[in-house]
Amino acid sequence: MFLSKIWFILVGLLAGIAVTAAFVAPRPADRRIEQLEGQRMDRAQYAAEQLLKNDARRWVDYVAKLGTDGKLIDALEAATRGSSELRPLHESVRNRLRELVPDRQGIGAESIIAVDGKGRVVARVGDDEGEFGESIAGAEVVTDALRGYLSDDVWGANNRLRRIGASPVLSKSHDRIVGALVVAVETGKRLAEMWKRNLGVEVAIVLRKNVLSSTLPEALLTQLPEVIEEHAAEIASHKRTRALPLYMGNERLLAVAAPFPGEASEQRAYYVLMTKKSPESDPWALLSSTSSDDLKWGKFPWLPLAGGILAIIAIGLFLQRMEVELPLKHLRAEVHRLAKQELLKIEDTKYGGKLGGIARDINAAIEHFTHAPLPKSETAKKDISAILDPKSATADGRSFDVSNPPVATKTALPPPAAMAASLFGTPRSAPGLGGGPPALPAAPPPAPFTAPSEPAPFFAPPAPQHPAPPPRPMPPPFARPAKAPEPTPVTAAPTINSSGPSGDPDLAHFSQVFEDYISLRQKCGESIVGLSLEKFTAKLQSNREQIVAKHHCKSAQFTVYEKDGKAALRAVPVRE
């Protein structure tokens, strides 16, 4: 399973790389998006600055044009000369301004102030319309206007931000300055909304750490003034900040702050352009933001992806089959063949890894099994030598009779003869020649089986008993030839008892076989003590019945032959 393991490791590594890439790959894209968003904010700030500048010029030109009105010129000139009372001039100028600017609020002008050549307020429309006479000559934009400049400024007094445009009012002869007109323009909600429409960004206006107005809920912008103050040095040097990340609740914003020009710059007045930052592209966010359009055939590489996945699965299954299933199948087949006695053992060298270990374990178990003593009853059941063994004949009534008491029992008793476990069948399943569970004394260990064959050796010569149990005979498929010691000679002669079952057509055959067997045993120098025709015949009858039952034959013929210098019996089924 080496290749399978390697494959699984490779697949795991591939999956790890894929997951890592899924988490890491969006980062550069995020940085790129943030960079692009920052550039967008830069352009928006530049555009806002241009809008401010154009707007300032527009208002300066507006009041310059207003200053060409004859009635205003006359009134301001009179106020400058001081030739008449100021109040009538104030009312005259105020009314004239109302006539000239009927939709003051509509155009965004908060107030328009007319000053004489000394800087005194002659009249104003909008804020504090009733007040006049005070000097505002010290205001730089007013001073400039009275000197001859058209200029603009931004004021941040009284917690209000106003853009100021001022223009001198020249005499009708255009040879002197008789006054000035100053317009104050709303710089708050209206401006923010206009910029939001034109620039497509959120806008906030900040004055002295206070958010004056915003297109976003001001409650969300509590941290904005602090963030801007932290970048005051950057603003002073670059006239703007870079794109700053702002976190407001769940919202992530990108903000650029820039100062208003004029006096307001000294008052920490800033406009802030903000845009919602793209969400961070973690894999889940990316998945949640995909659309069905992204998964269309033409856009998504379904075929390569499916092919890749199928290839991975196929390779994994192939390796699994090659390294696991096929060896397992072969092992199972071998075990089956082993069970069918077609094999002596499993060729464990064919199998690697754990399957090889299993095969070796099976072989070891077989080895252990074939060398371990069988249960006593089983041993006795298989021990057909009891037929010939005079010592075992006295065990119980089901045993063979022994005509001559085993005198030799006082001497060294011969071990049970080795035999095949059964004439036809597995050693353990086939009953012994005696039929039924034999009650033979099981003290002596079993002798080795003889390998079964058809015809198979029926009897093995009795083996001498050893003090230590001899190796257990192998099961028939892999029986090892028993090498029993020479039998101990017995003094008792075999008894031919003719009191066997009568009426059996094979009695003569059994008798002949018995005689042949006795003579061959004598010829081979084997003991014949305790052998009797009756027991011999009964045993042969019993075996005949088993053979007939098993092979569905008519009868069985027994022959005597010599095997390894010992007498043995062979049974042959007779089918006709």
Closest contact distance (angstroms) between CB of 154 and another protein is: 7
Closest contact distance (angstroms) between CB of 160 and another protein is: 11
Residues 324-363 that bind another protein (CB under 8 A): none
Longest CA pairwise span in the chain (Å): 180
Tell me if residue 242 falls in helix, strand or coil: coil
The total number of residues written for the chain in this structure: 576
- Examine residue 56 and tell whether it contacts another protein (CB under 8 A): yes
Determine how many CB atoms are found less than 10 A away from the CB of residue 265. 17
- Examine residue 262 and tell whether it contacts another protein (CB under 8 A): yes
Closest contact distance (angstroms) between CB of 74 and another protein is: 17
Q: Please identify, among the stretches 10-18, 228-236, 256-264, 509-517, the one whose residues bind another protein according to the rule CB under 8 A.
A: 256-264
Q: What angle do CA 237, 241, 243 make, to 5 degrees?
A: 155
Closest contact distance (angstroms) between CB of 301 and another protein is: 55
Q: How far is CA 349 from CA 147, 353, 354, 358, in A?
A: 112, 10, 12, 11
Query: How far is Cα 397 from Cα 377, in angstroms, rounded to an integer?
Result: 16
Which structure tokens are listed for 531? Answer: 């052998």
The full 3-state SS of 348-388, as one line of letters, equals: HHHCCHHHHHHHHHHHHHHHHHHHCCCCHHHHHHHCHHHHC
- Examine residue 135 and tell whether it contacts another protein (CB under 8 A): yes
Which lies closer to another protein via its Cβ, residue 260 or residue 458?
Answer: 260
Which lies closer to another protein via its Cβ, residue 191 or residue 479?
Answer: 191
Q: E strand or H helix at 495, and its extent?
A: none
- Examine residue 52 and tell whether it contacts another protein (CB under 8 A): yes
Query: How far is Cα 428 from Cα 434, in angstroms, rounded to an integer?
Result: 14
- DSSP one-letter code for 120: B
Alpha carbon 98 to its chain's center: 77
Q: E strand or H helix at 50, and its extent?
A: helix 26-66
Which structure tokens are listed for 44? Answer: 């928006």
- Examine residue 144 and tell whether it contacts another protein (CB under 8 A): yes
Closest contact distance (angstroms) between CB of 175 and another protein is: 7
Contacts with another protein: how many residues (CB under 8 A)? 45
Q: Which amino acid, 457?
A: P
Which lies closer to another protein via its Cβ, residue 273 or residue 547?
Answer: 273
Query: How far is Cα 571 from Cα 569, in angstroms, rounded to an integer?
Result: 7
- Examine residue 119 and tell whether it contacts another protein (CB under 8 A): yes
Which lies closer to another protein via its Cβ, residue 177 or residue 418?
Answer: 177
- Examine residue 164 and tell whether it contacts another protein (CB under 8 A): yes
- Examine residue 158 and tell whether it contacts another protein (CB under 8 A): yes
Which one, of 558, 369, 575, 553, lies nearest residue 477 by Cα?
A: 369
Among 102, 106, 130, 138, binds another protein (CB under 8 A): 138
Q: Please identify, among the stretches 80-88, 128-136, 305-313, 393-401, the one whose residues bind another protein according to the rule CB under 8 A.
A: 128-136
Residues 173-192 that bind another protein (CB under 8 A): 174-177
Q: Burial, 536: exposed, middle or buried (Cβ in 10 Å; 0-12, 13-18, 19+)?
A: buried
- Examine residue 72 and tell whether it contacts another protein (CB under 8 A): no
Whether omega before 455 lies within 30 degrees of 0, making that bond cis, reads yes
Q: Which amino acid, 22?
A: A
Residues 267-306 that bind another protein (CB under 8 A): 267
Which lies closer to another protein via its Cβ, residue 115 or residue 244?
Answer: 115
Q: Please identify, among the stretches 130-138, 440-448, 450-458, 471-479, the one whose residues bind another protein according to the rule CB under 8 A.
A: 130-138
Closest contact distance (angstroms) between CB of 128 and another protein is: 9
Closest contact distance (angstroms) between CB of 59 and another protein is: 9
Among 95, 215, 265, 559, binds another protein (CB under 8 A): 265
Closest contact distance (angstroms) between CB of 147 and another protein is: 4
Chain positions contacting another protein, by CB under 8 A: 52-53, 56-57, 60, 64, 119, 131, 134-144, 146-154, 156-158, 164, 167-168, 170, 174-177, 261-263, 265-267
